[in-house]
Amino acid sequence: MVSEDGVRMQTARKVFTLVAGWALVLVGTAALLLPGPGLLLLLAGLIVLSQQYVWAARRVEPMKARAFDAAEQGVRTGPRIAASVASACAVMGAGVVWGLDPTIGTWGPIGPRLPFGGWATGLSLILSGLIALALIGYSIRRFRGR
């Protein structure tokens, strides 16, 4: 017989798992279009959701193969590596600029100040760039070291 506290913990764990998994899937989907490791975040989301859903478990291996293939393709040549590193540095530079001056010019309905910005947004961009550089380094070691 399971106590009420045990049932609450199981329910809380399940809710946390579902929220974390779907959040990773949503952020990964957005990162496919925006700067970020989209396939890796999607893979992480599927791994988390695979604890609750059979359909997610079936998609983990194909997504893992795609993510590693994309990582290998990204470091296949020197110019690709240089472009990836330059992009990561540009994202970090944008984070510094956004942190120092969160105001932007008026562009259509956007501007002069977005409802988000400052160092919260700037630090998230800097962190994204650092994660990208770490992933580039990992990919170089794993795929070019063969």
pLDDT reported for residue 60: 94
DSSP class per residue in the chain? ---HHHHHHHHHHHHHHHHHHHHHHHHHHHHHHSSS-HHHHHHHHHHHHTTT-HHHHHHHHHHHHHHHHHHHHHTSSHHHHHHHHHHHHHHHHHHHHHHH--B---BTTB-SB-SS-HHHHHHHHHHHHHHHHHHHHHHIIIII--
In tens, the pLDDT along 53-94 reads 999 999 999 999 988 888 888 889 999 999 989 999 999 998
pLDDT reported for residue 30: 85
pLDDT reading at 18 higher than 90: yes
pLDDT reading at 23 higher than 90: yes
Average pLDDT over the chain reads: 85
What's the sign of the alpha-carbon dihedral 92, 90, 80, 23? positive
pLDDT reported for residue 90: 94
What's the sign of the alpha-carbon dihedral 18, 22, 23, 28? positive
